[in-house]
Amino acid sequence: MSKTLTPDALVLAPNINGADDFYADLLTAHEGRDKADSDAFNARLVLVLANHIGDRAVLKQALPAAALNKNETP
Amino acid sequence: MNKIFEVPMYPYAHHADQDAISPVRRKPVVIGAGPIGLAAGIELAQDGVEVVILDENDKVSFGSRAICFAKRPLEILDRLGCGQPMVDKGVLWNKGKVFFDDRQVYDFNLQPEEGHQRPAFINLQQYYFEEYLVNRVRALQEQGAPIEIRGRNKVSAIGTHPDHVTLEIDTPEGSYNLEADWLVACDGAGSPTRRMLGLDFVGRVFEDNFLIADVVMEADFPTERWFWFDPPFNKGQSALLHKQPDGVWRIDLQLGWDIDKEREKRPENVIPRLKAMLGDDVEFELEWVSIYTFQCRRMEKFRHGRVLFAGDAAHQVSPFGARGANSGVQDTDNLCWKLKLVIEGSAPESLLDSYDTERVQGAEENILNSSRSTDFITPKSEMSRLLRDAVLDLSEQHEFARPLVNSGRLSVPCTYDGSPLNSADALQDGPGRTRPGSSCPDAPLGDDYLLPKLGSRFILLTIDAEAPDVIEEAGITVERLALSIKDDRTLALKDRYLGDNASGVYLIRPDQHVAARRPTYDDNQFRAAIRRAVGKE
């Protein structure tokens, strides 16, 4: 299924090639870390990914999506 | 050691106003002979406005206090005739290092943009800054300029009226009354004027204490700004090392909230902290120690009838980013030309409301930036600390994270977007940095520079465009400054003022902010722009 998107719209449709592999990689990355270490890892990961996206409009829409807030318009 | 900040610079002297039977009426009176009050006085006096500066003290700032002065204030000081001694004495720097925990995470070189007469910033103790301003006042007095500083003249009561202000002033010889057409209050964060008038000053309090120590040392630390997050010698807190003239180093140590200030200020407690930071073998002498807390807040309005507030009296920010004295000088830069026009009857009183609009906007920008720096330096929650540390850890290996590190953002002038004095931008695709409301960026003109040619009057800047040499409109005289892009072989003038346009015409205010711009001269449009820029449209 493909949907026409404006360039600055957050992608919320499935978009990861090999979703299961990505998820497994994510779990592996956390293996052997304690809670504090894992939290720090996640924080760094968010920043790395945010920089890759770069587009402020997209990043802004990601916040309510992550907050599971359906009423909040991006 | 006889330090400049211990010498009376404007000792009390009896004035004939004290013997008058009924109070003498002055034009503008400035309260406070700190950096902002002195700048206001000099600007008004240079424009021929008779001005009196009152100060409860008779000395310059005690201790170094504000130490970082940015390019825009230096350009303003050039107009006030005292930029050069500041730059000559000041320490120039553009390199810095950032440390996290026990290691350096990165270093930087700010490499200021070329084609500006003044550096991005200098470090200079506030007492020198004030001394040079006082020297300038003295030089103006010798030339017969109408300016005086009355030391140990403490305003103890203020009465406001529709067309003037009354002042009761205490001196070592008793009190006297004075009247003023206008009052400019530059009496600092604790402004007695604000308190006497019962005005608000709301904002955010940061629960933190910082120890400032100025040390004199012959150390071979380079001329760089070093900032530590969570260093071993000040666990869980921050630290700053920055060079000032005369071998004086500013050391700033975050102490946290629950401390005994008096105890922490004692040399026997300060010295071990400094040794832990600098190493046991570094010889140093303490020049000045202070503990400060800070708030980010502003008055709701900077104009209250005939009373105008400027500098810390009107707004207060955290020190990160050097936005205190720097923004105060921009307040008076904005205010003085308007006040002069109102006093001489060339502009309506309502022009002063634009001082409020424009400088409240400037204060909001400064409060936003300095609050963000503070939130980065002192995270307020577990998660904000986690994110902050993530940024710092990433910055060691990945360049992308470095712009997120925030130990203070360089103070840049506010662009007065949406100001009622601006005319709509009519230079299509013109450079954004010179849109109406912007402060004019400098540009080289052979061996000279653009800003000194603008001076402190209305200017019609034409670049490869025809226009009359002088325009008289609504009591305002506008002189033309005719330039060509050929005057600047570096093309900075073209890049900053034309972009892809072949020509450009700018109406520039006395504070060197752009009021209007078009590709060519249009008599009706520019006459309307002049009226608008002085509040007559």
Per-residue pLDDT tens for B505-532? 999 999 999 999 999 999 999 999 999 9
The helix/strand/coil state of B66 is: coil
Pairing mode of beta strands B238-244, B224-229: antiparallel
Tell whether domain B432-533 is in CATH 3.30.70.20: no
A74 pLDDT tier (thresholds 50, 70, 90):
very low
- Pick B400's closest partner by Cβ from A40, A43, A51: A51
**Distance from C-alpha of B103 to C-alpha of B58, rounded to nearest angstrom:** 46
Q: How far is Cα B298 from Cα B359, in angstroms, rounded to an integer?
A: 11
A67 touches chain B (CB under 8 A): no
Q: Which residue of B has its CA nearest to A36?
A: B386
From the CA of A16, how many Å to the nearest CA of chain B?
Answer: 24
Predicted local confidence at residue B60, as pLDDT: 84
Spatial contact of B466 and B453, defined as CB atoms under 8 Å apart: no
The predicted structure's pLDDT at residue A4:
52
- Where are chain B's structural domains? 4-17+25-90+119-201+296-367, 203-293, 373-404, 432-533
**Shortest alpha-carbon distance between residue A28 and chain B (Å):** 20
- Taking the Cβ of residue A44 and every Cβ of chain B, the question of whether any pair is shorter than 8 Å is answered with yes
Give pLDDT tens digits for B6-29: 889 999 999 999 999 999 999 999
Contact B394/A at CB under 8 A: yes
Residue B292's CB: how many other CB atoms inside 10 A? Answer: 14
Instruction: Please name which of B333, B316, B305 lies closest in space to residue B190, comparing C-alpha atoms.
Output: B316
Distance, CA of B489 to CA of B344 (rounded, Å): 41
Which residue blocks in B249-322 are alpha helix, DSSP H? 261-265, 267-278
Confidence grade of residue B319 (pLDDT, cut at 50, 70, 90): confident
- Say which CATH class B4-17+25-90+119-201+296-367 falls into: alpha beta
The label of the residue with tokens 């205490």 reads: B170
pLDDT tens string B429-481: 999 999 999 999 999 999 999 999 999 999 999 999 999 999 999 999 999 99
The model's pTM: 0.94
Q: Which residue has the higher pLDDT, B155 or A4?
A: B155
Inter-chain residue contact B390 with A43, CB threshold 8 Å: yes
What percentage of chain A exceeds 70 in pLDDT?
A: 84
Q: How far is CA B93 from CA B106, B123, B270, in A?
A: 17, 8, 27
Chain A contact present for B402, CB below 8 A: no
Query: How many whole angstroms separate alpha carbon B508 and alpha carbon B300?
Result: 28
pLDDT band at B207 (very low <50, low <70, confident <90, very high): confident
pLDDT tens by residue, B332-364: 999 999 999 999 999 999 999 999 999 999 999
| Interval B61-105: pLDDT, tens | 888 888 999 999 999 999 999 999 999 999 998 899 999 999 999
Record: contact B390-A51, CB cut-off 8 A:
no
How many CB pairs below 8 Å do chains A and B form together? 25
Residues of chain B in contact with residue A44, where contact means CB-CB under 8 angstroms, are: 390, 393-394
> Is A40 in contact with B390 (Cβ distance < 8 A)?
yes
Q: In which band, very low, low, confident or very high, does the pLDDT at A6 lie, cut at 50, 70 and 90?
A: low
Contacts of residue B376, defined as CB under 8 A and 6 or more positions apart, other chains included, come to B388, B405, B406, B407
B203-293: CATH superfamily: D-Amino Acid Oxidase, subunit A, domain 2 (3.30.9.10)
